[in-house]
Structure formats: structure tokens, C-alpha cells
Structure 1
Amino acid sequence: MKRVYTVVSILFFSLVTFAQSGTRFMDNRPWQEVLQRAQRENKLIFVDCYTSWCGPCKQLATEIFPQEKMGEYLNKRFVNAKYDVEKGEGLAVGKQYEKEIKVFPTMLILTAQGEVIHKVSGCRPADELIAAIEEGLQGNTIYNLRKEYDRGNREWSFIQKFLHLLETASERKEYEKVAREYASRFPIDSLLNKDIWDIVGKFVIQTPFSPEFRFAVEHIDDLDSKGLVNRYQLESKLSEEMGFAVNSIFLVSNQKHSEDSLAKLQEKIDYLRTLLKKPVKGFPESLAELSIVESKIKNDTNQLYERLCVLVECGFANRDLFLSDMLKYLARNLNNEARLKRCINIAEYMKEISSKSSWVQEGFDEVITLANQKLESKK
């Protein structure tokens, strides 16, 4: 019994010591108290902005901030505060700094008057977090570098530093804007340069109608041979974005169009078709779907039916929503009894092999109901 008591005492003492050696926070205290203490102690303020549902926030709180090295670094330099910005005292803090808090967790470095001078986002190991905070204390903040960028600095070393800080602060939109602006100064084949690809590659493959996207599709072999991409991952991403593009055409096809809008839509279809003929994994499926959408836009119901049957027979039927909507269109517009029955058979088949989610099943059930109603009306 005495031995058990001793072990428990040692564990308790270790936990208490660990907690005391880590970061000491003013936990959800009134904001004015934090400001007053910082002014009294002539310190900067470190604020951990978190939410109760944020996993990385909990990891920071339980694994990073309690570490002795974090305590030694933060406690000496800052008045440390933390707020759940979705309740209590944190609501006002969250509202006051809402332009800075884009993701959780976000850590703000403030003057004793509450002016933001630096921020770091996301959970990271203690050494990396300390380095990111220290970088701001040395004057390398997005606020200072933004001013320098606006004054026209476009040196590569500066751009790299600015982009690094924007990424650290989770300023994704500004990162993309700066990266794109920098890359646009060079010919499009500069995408084969590692430095350029590293800063803009993840963005240029998200816009199928851009010349950069087309370049990536047409130069997969070059990007792969230079070691700039993982070919499998790049093809998957290109295919995913092309699928979204085809789906956007499909959604637009449900609207009424003037001759001018139809002509513009056809231009987009022709452009996508050209790209989708490239040997990229997943493109044949999107090309088949695009051909069906084109038939719908032309109100050619029989051609749509024939193409849809081929799509299913060839095993290209992998988007439940697309298929159920096309089958509904056919059920409403076909008059041929044999073809209506074929639509019912396809819907029943798709119910068996598709997701069992209620909205997916309900979509195919609606096809069956519509087609049966049409058949009943013919008797």
C-alpha cells in the first residue's frame, strides 16, 4: 500500500511540475486585464485563439504549450492569454481580431496596446513554433513585408520570405495572389522551373480554363521527368478539377439560354473536349459525361439516351448525382416505351451498385417513379 502511495505521489508531483514548467496563461480573462498587465510589466502579448472543436488547438494545449522550452520562451517575453473565441470573454476578442483569425488555432503577437505585429497559425512542434514567433519579433512579419511588397520589391529572396510568412499565417488568398503575380512576370514554360512550380503549381492546376492548367496537362511528362510532381497525384488532381468543370457545364445546362450564351457554352465544351482527349487518368470518364451534357444542351433526347447507355455499359458510371439527374431528364422527355423501361432497369442497377445514402437512393427511386408514370399514361 505504501509503495502504491509513493508511485501515485511521484506521478502527481511530475504532472504538477510539468504543468508549472510550461506556458502560464491568463485563461479567458477579461481583455482589459490582459492589456493592463502587459502595460504594467512592459511586455508584448501572446494570444492563443482556439475553439472547443478544433483538434490542432487541443494538441497545442496538451502537448506543446506545457513543454518546458515553450514555458521558458513565452513566459519571459509575453503576457500569455488564451481564448475560446466562440464563447464568454473570447467572443469580444474574436470579434476584435476577426480579420486576423482565418483558421484555428491562430496565435497573435500584440503590443501592450493590443496592436497586432505578428501571427502564426496551426499546430507545430515547439522548436518550429518558437522559430516562427521569433521571426516576427525580428521584424519579419507579414505586415512589414506587405508594405515592402506594395512599394515594389520583387526580388526572389524577398518573395520567398513573404510567401513563407503568408503560409505560416494561413493567408491563403494573399499567398495565391502574390505567387500568381510573381509567376506571371515570366513565360508560361517557366512552370518547368522548380522555384516557380513550387510556389504556384498547386494553384495553376485548379482552373481548367486557364493557360497554366492546359500547360500542366500537356507537359505532364516534363513535370514528371524533372521531379517536380508525383505523376499519379498530379493526374488525380487534374482529373478531379476537370470533373468539376464538366459538372459546372451540366448545372448550367439546366438553365435557359440565349443564342449568345449557348455559343459561349459551346466554346467551353469544345475547349474541355480538346483537353479531355489527352492521355490522363480519369479524363475518358469526364469526356463521356461531357458528350452527354452536350446532347442535353442540344435537346437531343435520343442521342443523350444512346450515349448514357454506352456510359453505363462501359463502366464509366461513377457519379451518382449526374446519372440520376440525366435519367430523370430522360424519364420526363422520352416517349419510347422500350427506352423508358431501359431507364428503369438502369436506375435499378445503379441503386444496387451506388452509395446507399438516402439522397442517392431517392434520386434513382424518382427516376423509376417518373418512368413508370409515363408508361402508365400510355396504356
Structure 2
Amino acid sequence: MSVFKHVPVMLLLFSSITISAQENNSIQFTNGSFNEALQAAAKSGKLVFVDCYTSWCAPCKWMEKNVFVNDTIHQYFNKQFINFKVDMEKGEGVSLRERYKVTSFPTYLFVDAKGNQVHRTGSRMSVQDFITEARRANEPGNTLADMEKKFNSGDRSLKLLTDYAIVLQRVNGGQFDKVRNELISKVKEEELNTALGWTIIKNFARDEEDKLGSYLIRHRQQFNAFADEASIQTKLNQLASSTMYGLIRQKRNAEFFDKLTMMLRDTSYAAQRNAVMLQIEYYLTNKNAEGFLAVARTAQAGAFRNNPADLSFVARRAGYQANGDTAILKQAYEMARLAAQLEPEEYSNQGTLAESCYALGLKEEGLKAARKARLLADLETSKIQKIAQALVDKLEKLN
């Protein structure tokens, strides 16, 4: 584990703005008001990066722990922006939430010294995606505001539609659908055989049967010029999974099992894991307890035996879709119990075990897990704490 060093509180351009005393290997946020951050931006010629969060937002916490501490991220942000974070449910965060129409968390704003929004993004994302959005904010002509102006003025170039849709998918679902659909209807097949075409397919193909996905499958080899084999295979796997979940919903059973047979030929862990998840979803959706139990027990003894996250996920999913089937509930309990044994300090594992116990009327064991989950929730958000306490309460009332 890295050794974290504290940096001293420093003046930032003028005395009323200070850098938070925190680890020097994370994004450094200013103390002070939003207006003071804008004044600092005016003096420095930088944009203000605004981290809009809430106390209960789990993706906000994840980004803080896993992305803000990345060397590339904090070095870029600390050099390029005045960084300001604000709880959208407290103090001036309430008015800023209204001013910038923030409806989901985390939302990340990039504003100029006058408070005008230049760029915007949000949600949990990878280091690479986050740095891409930050650099976009500093590129004239490539920000969300710039692209919006171009689009509204009639620009329908493939490059503009592609870039605009990539940004919109994190901040405006309705407008994203509009731009994505226009892009897909506009792009010609011969234009997909390009680096830009790969970007379009990688970001917007949804399944094997749509225009983009089917083109990739039919012309897979030509994309070796634009992407590495691993990236192409990852996209193909995503398309296959999406298609198969669609087949489950549409009850196209024969097609589902034909594709499953092909998937099982891939002996990689990722493919085998995906096949297990698809089979579990198929059998649960079709209320086939026997099929579910066969797959779940095999996975528990094999591929998932040392994977508490997957064990816990299947247990939650099975508990949700069991419809009172005791055999399914018992299997969910067994998987939840193993997950909690493998990783006892993980909140979700203890919470899942407590829920499984509740479904089977196992009050004593359930309360033990629920109380453990409640303690672990103190390290999480206030929303999770409330959920954990509610779980303790309902188990205490169990006869």
C-alpha cells in the first residue's frame, strides 16, 4: 500500500482560497466558496472543475478512492484546473444544483471564471475516460458547449455527431438517443471501415443484430487496422451478451442455446463466467429451478468458488427472482454464506447473507450478518447506512 503524505495548507492566489490539507497524490480541492473559486480561476486563467456529489453516492466514493488518486489524473487536474467539490444537498450546493440542473451523481462540471458551463460529464468511469473528458474541457471547439452550438447550427458531420454522442451519453440520455440515432442512420457502411468507424462501433453498437454490430461481425478482420485484437474481442463479447439477454426476454430459446454452445467453446475465464451468468438468468427468468440449481452448484464448486463478488451477485439475483421457491432460496443462501466467509469485511456480502437468511426465516444467523453489515455501512454512505439499519430492524421483528 502506498504511503500517503499530507501537504500543508497553501495560499492559492489570494488568502481567502486555500488548498484542502490532504494527500499529495490525489486531486487537491480548494476550501472556500464557489465565488472564490471563480475569482481564483479569473486570476489564473484556468477553468474550475466542480465535483458535484452527495453523501450517499456510492459511485462518487468509488471515483474518489480509485480515480482521483491516479497519478495521471491528480497531476493533470492540479495543474490545469481550480478544483472545487460541493455536496449538492448542503449549503450552496443546493443552489448550484438548481443553477446547473444537476440530476445525477456524480456530475462533473467545468466552468469558466464567469460561471458559464464549458463542459460536463458524469457517472463512474475509468481513468482513461475521465482524463479524456478533462482534456476535452481544455480543447477549444471540442467541449460540450462547443459541440452543442455546432449541432444546433446544423453541423451533421460524422466526427461531430460521434464526439457529441460520446459526451451526451453520460449527461443527457434524451439528447444522446436523438444524436446516436441520427448518427447511425447517417453513417454509410463504407464509412465504418475507418478509424472513426471503429470509434462509432465501439461506443454505439448494442447487439449483434443492429447495423453497427452486424457490420463488425461481418468485417471483423478489417478492424485489425484500427484496434487491437483484445479490444475487438471485448466488443464482440459485449454484443453477444446483449444479444443473448435479448433472446431470453423474447423467449427465443433455440437461438439462445445455439449461441451458448458457441460461447462455451471459448475456454477463457471471462467467456466461461459470462456463460454462467447468462444461463442463470435464463433459468431464473423461465422459472426453471432444476436448471438454475445445476448451473449454480457447478459454478459454486468451480469457477466461482473463490470469487465472492460473483457468488454474492448470483445470490442476490436468485433471491430476487425465486418467487418463494425454497430450493432456489437455499442455493442463494449457500452462495451468500460462502461469499461472506471468503470476504467477511465486505458490506454487500454480509447484507446479501442477511437477506438470504431472512427469506428462509434464519433469524439468528441473519441478525449476525445484518449487524455486521450495519457496522461496515459506517464506512459507506448515509443511504447505505439506512438500508443496513432497515435490514437489522426487519430481522429483529422476524418470529
TM-score by length of 1: 0.52
Match of 2:110 in 1: 108
CA distance in 2, matches of 1:213, 1:221: 14
Match of 2:379 in 1: none
Whether contact under 8 Å (1:57, 1:105) holds in the other structure is no
Match of 2:390 in 1: none
Give the drift of 1:154.
3.1
Match of 1:353 in 2: 298
Match of 1:195 in 2: 196
Whether contact under 8 Å (1:64, 1:70) holds in the other structure is no
Match of 1:56 in 2: 63
Whether contact under 8 Å (1:28, 1:82) holds in the other structure is no
Matched AA of 2:144:
I
Whether contact under 8 Å (1:142, 1:162) holds in the other structure is yes
CA distance in 2, matches of 1:280, 1:219: 22
Give the drift of 1:148.
1.8
> Which aligned pairs between 1:199-348 and structure 2 lie closer than 5 A?
199-204=200-205, 206-223=206-223, 227=227, 230=230, 231-250=232-251, 269=252, 273=255, 281-282=262-263, 319-324=279-284, 326=286
Tell me whether 1:143 sits opposite 2:145 in the alignment: yes
Match of 1:333 in 2: none
CA distance in 2, matches of 1:161, 1:56: 23
CA distance in 2, matches of 1:276, 1:132: 44
How many residue pairs are counted as aligned between the two chains?
A: 282
Change (3 A) 1:134 1:225: closer
Give the drift of 1:245.
0.6
Matched AA of 1:353:
T
Q: What RMSD over aligned residues (CA atoms) do the two structures have, in Å?
A: 5.4
Whether contact under 8 Å (1:190, 1:196) holds in the other structure is yes
Whether contact under 8 Å (1:117, 1:143) holds in the other structure is yes
CA distance in 2, matches of 1:352, 1:242: 26
Match of 1:154 in 2: 156
Match of 1:290 in 2: none
CA distance in 2, matches of 1:133, 1:26: 19
Give the drift of 1:127.
8.8
Which runs of no fewer than 5 residues in structure 1 stay unpaired?
Answer: 1-10, 251-268, 286-314, 329-342, 370-379
Whether contact under 8 Å (1:179, 1:199) holds in the other structure is no
Change (3 A) 1:88 1:281: farther
Tell me the alpha carbon deviations over residues 43-78 of structure 1, each in whole angstroms, 9 at most, x when there is no partner: 887233234542324567667799788666546xxx
| Greater fraction of residues in helix | 1
Tell me the alpha carbon deviations over residues 259-282 of structure 1, each in whole angstroms, 9 at most, x when there is no partner: xxxxxxxxxx59x94x98689942
CA distance in 1, matches of 2:294, 2:322: 13
Match of 2:325 in 1: 366
Give the drift of 1:111.
5.0
Tell me whether 1:16 sits opposite 2:8 in the alignment: yes
Tell me the alpha carbon deviations over residues 180-224 of structure 1, each in whole angstroms, 9 at most, x when there is no partner: 5245334335333332221233322x1455343333334445545
Indicate the structure (1 or 2) with the bigger Cα radius of gyration.
Answer: 1
Matched AA of 2:138:
E
CA distance in 2, matches of 1:166, 1:82: 22
Whether contact under 8 Å (1:183, 1:196) holds in the other structure is no
Change (3 A) 1:141 1:247: same
CA distance in 2, matches of 1:68, 1:284: 44
Change (3 A) 1:209 1:161: closer
Tell me whether 1:95 sits opposite 2:87 in the alignment: no
Tell me the alpha carbon deviations over residues 313-372 of structure 1, each in whole angstroms, 9 at most, x when there is no partner: xx99962343255455xxxxxxxxxxxxxx87x676556335562763794982769xxx
Matched AA of 2:31:
D
Give the drift of 1:81.
3.9
Change (3 A) 1:139 1:367: closer
CA distance in 1, matches of 2:73, 2:193: 45
SS of the equivalent of 1:15 reads coil
SS of the equivalent of 1:282 reads helix
Matched AA of 2:108:
T
Matched AA of 2:325:
E
CA distance in 2, matches of 1:134, 1:316: 44
Give the drift of 1:131.
4.4
Give the drift of 1:107.
2.8
Whether contact under 8 Å (2:41, 2:112) holds in the other structure is no
SS of the equivalent of 1:319 reads helix
SS of the equivalent of 2:7 reads helix
